[in-house]
Amino acid sequence: MVEVEGLQKRYGDHAALAGVDFTISKGEIVGFLGPNGAGKTTTMKILTGFIAPTAGRARIRGVNVLVDPVAARRHLGYLPESAPVYRDMQVADYLHFMGRVRGLGEAERASAVARAVERCGLSDRVHQLIGTLSKGYRQRVGLAQAILHDPDLLILDEPTSGLDPNQIMDIRALIREIGERKTVILSTHILSEVQATCDRVLIINKGKLVADGPTDEVTAVSTGDVVRVVVAPGKVRLTPDQIAEAIRGLPGVESLRVLTDAQLGEGEVSLELRANADVRAAIFRKAVELGVVLLELGQHRSDLEAVFRRLTRGTP
């Protein structure tokens, strides 16, 4: 569906993209993540035909975006961060206008508008001025225009930005429903959005992909498990550094840091470590050996935020 090969984009001496390669298959919902200036927006602009790459190529359904951008856009629906809607138009009038822009004939346009209105939950809003809609419903109108011409690929840029929690859940559900029929690229800064919506994640940093795979596999491979340990003084009072050093040396422990927690009592120490194995039994034995009291010992899978932080900032 989407093929990106050796994509490069230079602005003078600055390389916004330094050789990006990925493919996206039909039916995938892919989260595209990256810090500011990483190359995410540049990649999106190339895929949507707004700018040309310095080198490499991007194809949508086999059509080279640079060679034939008009043909490529026929397969593409795009929702930018600020939904491109006209507030002084009614929902139905706006969608019919966008249908004419897309070159749809009268009968085809009427059918397309009816289909998009139903799919995006706008049936009771078709005669309402867009400017009087809530932001959540304006996003629905933006999604409706993006799917109006029945494209195979949807690119959504920050689709839930500025929405309240209920609106976010509604848009998430709508994206998942659309994703059952379409390929979706979701560009967002909200990492929980990707975990809740996407089955695959791409992370770009400094113009290069640093992660690509199913969301759960990326979190597992990149950081392993997270273990939180809280201990209280026993017979022997040890410093946080002494306790950390003893646990850091256990087999399976990859990294460890001492946490600052205002809820801790006097002499209590909180640690967070990453491990490639279940180290809880070893930590328990070490606590007994050190003579400290275990108050908390829990292990859980890393979340996408920890992965993102590690891959884009080098945080352990």
What is the spatial distance between Cα 3 and Cα 22, in angstroms, rounded to a whole number? 6
The pLDDT of residue 304: 75
The pLDDT of residue 155: 94
What is the spatial distance between Cα 178 and Cα 143, in angstroms, rounded to a whole number? 10
The pLDDT of residue 71: 92
- Three-class DSSP category at 284: helix
What is the spatial distance between Cα 202 and Cα 195, in angstroms, rounded to a whole number? 12
> What per-residue string of b and e applies to 275-288 under the rule 16 or more CB within 10 Å gives b?
beeebbebbeebbe
Average confidence (pLDDT) per 10 residues, the chain, 316 residues: 94 93 94 89 91 94 92 91 89 96 93 94 95 92 93 91 84 86 88 86 92 79 68 78 88 80 69 77 90 82 71 62
The pLDDT of residue 223: 52
